[in-house]
Amino acid sequence: MDRDYALKIQRVLLIASTILMLGVFFCGHPQADSRIIVERIEPTDLDALMSSKDCQCMIVAMAAWCGPCRKELPILNSLYERYKSRGLRMIGISLDVDGPEAMQRIVDTAGVNFPIYWAGDSPVHTYNIIAVPALFFIKDGEVVEKIVGKRTERYLERKIYEFLK
């Protein structure tokens, strides 16, 4: 077997295992009694999540320095608790340039119970994020709706209800 062929097979296996892992990571629910740890997500993994045909989810772009993000986080947490049994998958993406530690403090204080990953600022350009918070509703690998700016709990609940139909 030549070296190029072996490298191609290795790459395919790596991509396949990453996609499988993403399904488990992003489409599963964290345990209720576990502390959410903000871990790094690679741009390729975020791209795979955003285009996954296997997972319907709501992605929340946020930053620790963003006052509206911090105010909306308890609302999102409450809505996640209310709708996760109906199939809501919610994932937070931290855009902080200072690393995951900045958002970890906010996550701990707010008692967040949905997964949050640190992506740095690369998604800002890739996904045209002009302000935070930004919510992306993903179905069948497509962004079906994007909401920019802090919204009321009533507004977000209506959007989540419509999304889950």
pLDDT digits (tens, 9 = 90+) for 69-99: 999 999 999 999 999 999 999 999 999 999 9
- Could you count the other beta carbons within 10 Å of the beta carbon of residue 137? 19
So what's the pLDDT on residue 35?
A: 87
- Report how far residue 59's alpha carbon sits from residue 87's, in angstroms, rounded to the nearest whole number: 14
**Residue 54 Cα distances to 83, 144, 164, angstroms:** 19, 15, 15
Give the angle subtended at the CA of 66 by the CAs of 60 and 69, to the nearest 5°: 40
pLDDT tens string 29-53? 444 457 899 999 999 999 998 898 8
Expressed as residue numbers, the domain containing 148 is 3-164
Please tell me the pTM assigned to this model.
0.79
Q: Is the pLDDT of residue 19 over 70?
A: no
pLDDT at 28: 46
How far apart, in whole angstroms, are the C-alpha atoms of residue 161 and residue 86? 9
- The more confident residue out of 137 and 14 is 137
Of all residues in the chain, the percent with pLDDT exceeding 70 is 80
Q: Dihedral through CA 39, CA 109, CA 135, CA 114, nearest 10?
A: 60
Report the range out of 43-52, 123-132, 151-160 with the highest average pLDDT.
151-160
Helix, strand, coil shares, percent, the chain, to 5: 50, 20, 35
| Model confidence pLDDT, tens digit, residues 113-125 | 999 999 999 999 9
Q: Could you give the CA distance from residue 124 to residue 150 in angstroms, rounded to a whole number?
A: 17
CATH number of the domain encompassing residue 99:
3.40.30.10
Domains of the chain: total: 1
Alpha helices per DSSP H over the chain:
3-27, 43-50, 67-83, 100-110, 122-126, 153-164
- Mean predicted confidence (pLDDT) in 20-25: 44
**Residue 152 above 70 pLDDT?**
yes
Per the listing, tokens 């179905």 go with 139
